[in-house]
Amino acid sequence: MLDLPRLVLRRAAVVALLALAAAAWQGWTSAAQDIDDEVQAAHSLARTLQTLSSAASPAQAQAALQHKGAELRHLQLHVIDVHGRVVWASPEQAPPGAVMRQLLDWHRHWQALSEVHTLQWPVNAAAEHGPWTVKVTVSPESERREALADWGRLLAVLAIGLLALWVALRLSTRRAFEPLAQLVQAIEAMASQGARALKQLPAMPIRELASITQALQHLAADLDHAQSQRRFLSHKVQSVQEDERNHLARELHDEMGQRLTALRVDIAWLSRQVAQEPRLLAVVQAMNARCQEVQMDLRGVLTSLRPLGPAEAGEPIPLARLLHLLKDLVASWCSGAAAQDEQVLQPALHLTQCDSDEPVDCDEMAQPQRPLSLAQAATLVMSPALALAVYRLSQEGLTNVARHARARRADLRLTLHLREGEPSSLGWSLTDDGVGLPHPADVLHRGNGLGGMQERVWALGGEWRCEPAGPPPRPGLRLTARLPWSGAVS
């Protein structure tokens, strides 16, 4: 049997038994009180009849009855003299309260009882002043009143018992399901915190929830292992790509660079030889200009293949240098890239710092931020892998915006997140006002654009998010990444 329903039902059974015991005790004590009241009423009736039979006159009967304080139940007794005057009457019950009076009215309306019966007989017919009459009226009203009072007490006990049962069930279910609520919250938090939310779950007091927690934590451990393997493979792929780019850049620099330099030397010698021949000199100078253009193009290719230069081998990269490279990248787009609607794309670079270290699912724009000056950026250095990842993300992101978004503006933002005054992570976001993507998650699995950016972020142990930036019809796209900071203060 499951522990969770047994725990709830066991406590409910305890409260139900207590309520039943309270009802039994109330009925037991009420029965004893009713028996005692009936015996007292019978004794009072017998004593009243004895008094009436032994009295010589109504006055003596009145004095004796008032002295003994006769109290009758369900009966109303009157002593009437020969002139028809009531010389004594049994005391009536106190008038009921408002609630009891309303209950009596409802009962009379919905439940008719037997008719009122009246009995009378003469007493002491040979008395000096003539016989008097004893009149007894039997009425169900007093019994009705007592029955409704007993019913009200039983109903009150039942209501208290049900209330206690409800309170017990509520407390029991809250206590029993509180660990389940923590479990559900941890599962819901997996979308933003990953398996870390499951690892922080406390020990569950209920066997079923403990089993579920252990299974989820085991799955979380497997997921962490799979993500670690994927991150390792992504890092290897990125490393192989960058190594291949570096190798290609070295080959181009060493081979093509040397040959172009040698060719320009030969062209310089040839230009001196044909200095007296204007037509030949013009051709040679044109050849020299073409060589210079090829060298410039080669320099651009080398910059694209190895944007950080020789420092990629392991030398720390100043944050200020990365900002300079990003500004050059943004400037190149401002001068040359155009969207399909023939409006020039206007990228903008923003650098801020933030004292909060919230997860990536929080909107980077909504966090309290303040500008980060270049002087502050000059004091920070980062690993080449982090700097290269930020540059490649920006490069690929701007390329996607120019090719597919049909946007007029793109905002590139870097946010340095601090923890206790020290850098803890670097936030990167790119927001455009283009047409957006109908299903961003599907696009991540196609091609090397957004999917490659996501893999690059995951390779460094970061977090990634792709979502619409605004409402239709031009929702745009917001790409957000949070990369762990790796660097030092110079």
Confidence of residue 428 (pLDDT cuts 50, 70, 90): very high
- The C-alpha atoms of residue 189 and residue 228 are separated, in whole angstroms, by 20
With 70 as the cut, is the pLDDT of residue 196 above it?
no
The answer as to whether 76 is a domain residue is: yes
Domain end (from 304, 339, 364):
304
Can you read off the two tokens belonging to residue 87?
């010389």
With 80 as the cut, is the pLDDT of residue 386 above it?
yes
The answer as to whether 186 is a domain residue is: no
Residues 445, 462, single domain; the answer is yes
Residues 278, 133, single domain; the answer is no
Confidence of residue 193 (pLDDT cuts 50, 70, 90): low
Cβ contacts of residue 391 below 8 Å, gap of 6+?
A: 307, 308, 322, 325, 326, 329
pLDDT given for residue 360 in this prediction: 45
pLDDT given for residue 368 in this prediction: 61
pLDDT greater at residue 479 or residue 329: 479
With 50 as the cut, is the pLDDT of residue 361 above it?
no
Least Cα distance to 476 among 322, 345, 329, 324 occurs for 345
Confidence of residue 271 (pLDDT cuts 50, 70, 90): confident
Q: Which of 39-48, 68-77, 217-226, 422-431 has the highest mean pLDDT?
A: 422-431
pLDDT given for residue 356 in this prediction: 64
- The C-alpha atoms of residue 390 and residue 242 are separated, in whole angstroms, by 14
- The C-alpha atoms of residue 22 and residue 42 are separated, in whole angstroms, by 30
Q: Which of 248-262, 345-359, 470-484 has the highest mean pLDDT?
A: 470-484
Domain end (from 287, 304, 321):
304
Query: In sequence order, what DSSP letters do the residues of 265-329 get, joined into one string?
Result: HHHHHHHHHTTT-HHHHHHHHHHHHHHHHHHHHHHHHHHHH-TTGGGGGT--EEHHHHHHHHHHH
With 70 as the cut, is the pLDDT of residue 463 above it?
yes
Number of domains in the chain: 3
pLDDT given for residue 129 in this prediction: 60
Residues 126, 260, single domain; the answer is no
Q: Is 74 left (phi over 0), alpha (psi -120 to 50) or beta?
A: left
With 60 as the cut, is the pLDDT of residue 264 above it?
yes
Residues 330, 300, single domain; the answer is no
Which region among 68-72, 159-163, 378-382, 400-404 has the lowest average model confidence (pLDDT)? 68-72
Can you read off the two tokens belonging to residue 459?
């390779």
- The C-alpha atoms of residue 39 and residue 344 are separated, in whole angstroms, by 108
With 60 as the cut, is the pLDDT of residue 214 above it?
yes
The answer as to whether 465 is a domain residue is: yes
pLDDT greater at residue 434 or residue 73: 434
Average pLDDT value for the chain:
76
pLDDT given for residue 341 in this prediction: 42
pLDDT given for residue 192 in this prediction: 61
Residues 159, 18, single domain; the answer is yes
With 80 as the cut, is the pLDDT of residue 135 above it?
yes
- Tell me if 467 sits within 8 A of 478, measured CB to CB: yes
The answer as to whether 200 is a domain residue is: no
- Tell me if 82 sits within 8 A of 131, measured CB to CB: yes
Can you read off the two tokens belonging to residue 7?
């725990």
- Tell me if 173 sits within 8 A of 4, measured CB to CB: no
- The C-alpha atoms of residue 422 and residue 301 are separated, in whole angstroms, by 37
The answer as to whether 190 is a domain residue is: no
With 60 as the cut, is the pLDDT of residue 70 above it?
no
pLDDT digits (tens, 9 = 90+) for 309-344: 765 456 788 888 888 888 888 887 766 554 444 444
- The C-alpha atoms of residue 201 and residue 182 are separated, in whole angstroms, by 7
Residues 112, 168, single domain; the answer is yes
With 60 as the cut, is the pLDDT of residue 366 above it?
no
Residues 317, 261, single domain; the answer is no
Q: What 8-state DSSP symbol labels residue 397?
A: H
pLDDT greater at residue 189 or residue 313: 189
The answer as to whether 332 is a domain residue is: yes
Residues 290, 345, single domain; the answer is no
pLDDT given for residue 114 in this prediction: 67
Residues 232, 109, single domain; the answer is no
pLDDT given for residue 2 in this prediction: 55
Whether residue 371 is preceded by a cis peptide bond, meaning omega within 30 degrees of 0, is no
With 60 as the cut, is the pLDDT of residue 287 above it?
yes
> Residue 434's domain is classified under what CATH number?
3.30.565.10
Task: Give the domain extent around 161.
Answer: 3-172
pLDDT greater at residue 72 or residue 468: 468
- The C-alpha atoms of residue 257 and residue 244 are separated, in whole angstroms, by 18
Distances (CA, A) of 290 to 237, 287, 298: 37, 5, 12
Residues 158, 234, single domain; the answer is no
pLDDT greater at residue 6 or residue 484: 484
Residues 292, 323, single domain; the answer is no
The answer as to whether 55 is a domain residue is: yes
The answer as to whether 198 is a domain residue is: no
- The C-alpha atoms of residue 287 and residue 260 are separated, in whole angstroms, by 11
Domain end (from 117, 149, 172):
172
pLDDT given for residue 481 in this prediction: 92
Cβ contacts of residue 353 below 8 Å, gap of 6+?
A: 369, 370, 371, 372, 376, 415, 416, 417, 418
Residues 289, 330, single domain; the answer is no
- The C-alpha atoms of residue 469 and residue 478 are separated, in whole angstroms, by 5
Mean pLDDT on 166-175: 76
pLDDT digits (tens, 9 = 90+) for 234-255: 777 777 777 787 778 777 777 7
